Structure 1
Amino acid sequence: MKISALTYVPCSSLLLLLGASRVAYSNAALPPDSTFVRQAHRRAVFQFDQRFSILNGKVVGINGVKGGIEWRGRWRAGVGVYRLSGGVPTRAAQPEGTPPGTHDEVRFRYLAAYGEYVFIGNQRWELSTPLQLGAGSYYTKYYFPDGGVRRTSKEVIYMLEPSVAAHYRIFRWVGVGAGGGYRQALAAGEAPEDDMSGIIFFGRVKLFLGDFVKVVRGHERLFTQQGLKPTN
């Protein structure tokens, strides 16, 4: 019986074809890589960014809001504004002639530009490395024993804040997060820098404006887990 050349396949080639088919099938059966959340288009993000610091033995809050643009699910950039909610006790020497018992505090506010890189995450959560560069003003407030108050003139201050942050999406359009880092203040004089520099820790509520608009325009359910479950 003669075997046609068109139907004859060497055993070695047949084994290679079967192996390649098996690998291709296995790869096709694997879920898509969700190490990073990739988005083809840019989208807007907005955050209520409440920060805290322990400065000169006192826990103080820095209230802030910031907004920006996210692209490819990995890069974010934008601007924010921050204001110290209470004064920070100073360690600087008081001016000559200040009455005994005078209490003084430093207060500051600043505008910041930020950049953020997401290095791991999925549809539900992520871990990122934000960096903020800010500029603003500070002043010292003196409270005298007789009830009088005096405030110094404003001085320029610069802020550098590297940190690590994480967030968890409760729904597709809103999430909560937390993180920590360090604030380095650059100001005129060593004492103001020491009074405003220190470890920071923060909590935030994050609104994904782009996803919120899509949910509203698409008449989708507002409180749903759609789009947050891992792809099988």
Structure 2
Amino acid sequence: MNRIVKKWLGLSLLLGGLPLLARAGAAEDSSRVRPAHRRIVFQFDNRYSVIDGKLVGINGLKLAVEWRGRLRAGAGGYLLSNGIPSQEVLPTGMPAGTKAELRFRYVAAYAEYLFIRSNRWELSAPLQFGGGRFFTSFEQPDGTKSKDAKSTVWLLEPSASGHFRVFPWFGIGAGAGWRETLFVEPSLDEALDGPIFYGRVKLFLGDLYKTARFKRKLFSQQHFRYAD
């Protein structure tokens, strides 16, 4: 756990030293952006990860409150987009041809500090702590379904993320981090620990609305020459 916290702190310090790089690509720096004192942030947080040695997709939803454009805190829920085929020996009594898939779902509280917030750039360091269940789902040839005993899993997920606005209403983003399981047996620790990463296309609906309302050109860069 200590090494994961150190990695996250290292990422945080690195991001903290990047404002000059971001300002080189943005007409307005974060000191001139005046976000609302407090606002609600809703996000589809879909990412990829490695679980039990296999690349998998994880679907998630997050809801948070943002303060002064610098700190977000909230909670989210996650589950595998598809089960992971299990290579373990079937339990006694299961007929040949039974399908076995690993399933994993969890909820997490998270905090995210935005090191850079400008009209163009956003760079942040999210940290999540949560708990969930890991189990195997069985489907026999006759359609009978069952599950084995669920294992409780605690996890810590430090990461770094960011996005760049190509247009006021459209941006691209990416992020990467690590999932570390806590207080679990060694076999689960080995299966569930692994990297997390994602790429995103982002639509900023508020800016899209303003573009339509004030009849700005859809692909204009003029927005980045002045503060909102």
TM-score by length of 1: 0.67
Cα displacement (A) at 1:33? 7.2
Against the structure 1 CA distance between its residues 49 and 143, is the aligned structure 2 distance closer, same or farther, given a 3 Å change threshold? Answer: same
Against the structure 1 CA distance between its residues 75 and 136, is the aligned structure 2 distance closer, same or farther, given a 3 Å change threshold? Answer: same
Q: Secondary structure, in 3 states, of the residue corresponding to 2:213? A: coil
C-alpha separation in 1, matches of 2:222 and 2:74: 28
Task: Tell me, yes or no, if the aligned pair for 2:108 and 2:130 is still in contact at 8 Å.
Answer: yes
Question: Pick from 86, 100, 104: which aligns with 2:100?
Answer: 104
Cα displacement (A) at 1:116? 0.9
Please state if 1:219 is matched with 2:207.
no
TM-score by length of 2: 0.68
Q: Secondary structure, in 3 states, of the residue corresponding to 2:225? A: coil
Against the structure 1 CA distance between its residues 59 and 79, is the aligned structure 2 distance closer, same or farther, given a 3 Å change threshold? Answer: same
C-alpha separation in 1, matches of 2:167 and 2:70: 19
Q: Secondary structure, in 3 states, of the residue corresponding to 1:73? A: coil
Question: Pick from 29, 38, 50: which aligns with 1:34?
Answer: 29
Task: Tell me, yes or no, if the aligned pair for 2:46 and 2:57 is still in contact at 8 Å.
Answer: yes
Q: Secondary structure, in 3 states, of the residue corresponding to 1:133? A: strand
Identify which range, 134-143 or 36-45, moves more after superposition. 36-45
Please state if 1:168 is matched with 2:127.
no
Identify which range, 101-110 or 86-95, moves more after superposition. 86-95
**Cα-to-partner distance string for 1:153-178 (whole Å, 9 max, x where unaligned):** 43432221110101122443553311
Cα displacement (A) at 1:53? 0.9
Q: For structure 2, which runs of at least 5 residues remain unmatched after alignment?
A: 1-26
Q: Which amino acid aligns with 1:151?
A: K
Please state if 1:204 is matched with 2:200.
yes
**Cα-to-partner distance string for 1:148-200 (whole Å, 9 max, x where unaligned):** 65312434322211101011224435533111001123364332332222101
Alignment of 1:15-164 (within 5 A): 34-35=29-30, 37-39=33-35, 41-90=37-86, 95=91, 104-142=100-138, 149-164=145-160
Cα displacement (A) at 1:68? 1.8
Against the structure 1 CA distance between its residues 60 and 122, is the aligned structure 2 distance closer, same or farther, given a 3 Å change threshold? Answer: same
Identify which range, 149-158 or 111-120, moves more after superposition. 149-158
**Seq. identity, %:** 47
Q: Which amino acid aligns with 2:121?
A: W
Q: Which amino acid aligns with 1:200?
A: I
C-alpha separation in 2, matches of 1:35 and 1:188: 42
Number of aligned residues: 199
Cα displacement (A) at 1:213? 9.4
Bigger radius of gyration, 1 or 2?
A: 1
Task: Tell me, yes or no, if the aligned pair for 2:111 and 2:126 is still in contact at 8 Å.
Answer: yes
C-alpha separation in 1, matches of 2:122 and 2:185: 39
Cα displacement (A) at 1:205? 4.5
C-alpha separation in 2, matches of 1:68 and 1:173: 21
C-alpha separation in 2, matches of 1:109 and 1:172: 35
Cα displacement (A) at 1:206? 4.3
Q: For structure 1, which runs of at least 5 residues remain unmatched after alignment?
A: 1-31
Task: Tell me, yes or no, if the aligned pair for 1:92 and 1:191 is still in contact at 8 Å.
Answer: no
Cα displacement (A) at 1:129? 0.6
Task: Tell me, yes or no, if the aligned pair for 1:161 and 1:181 is still in contact at 8 Å.
Answer: yes
Cα displacement (A) at 1:126? 1.8
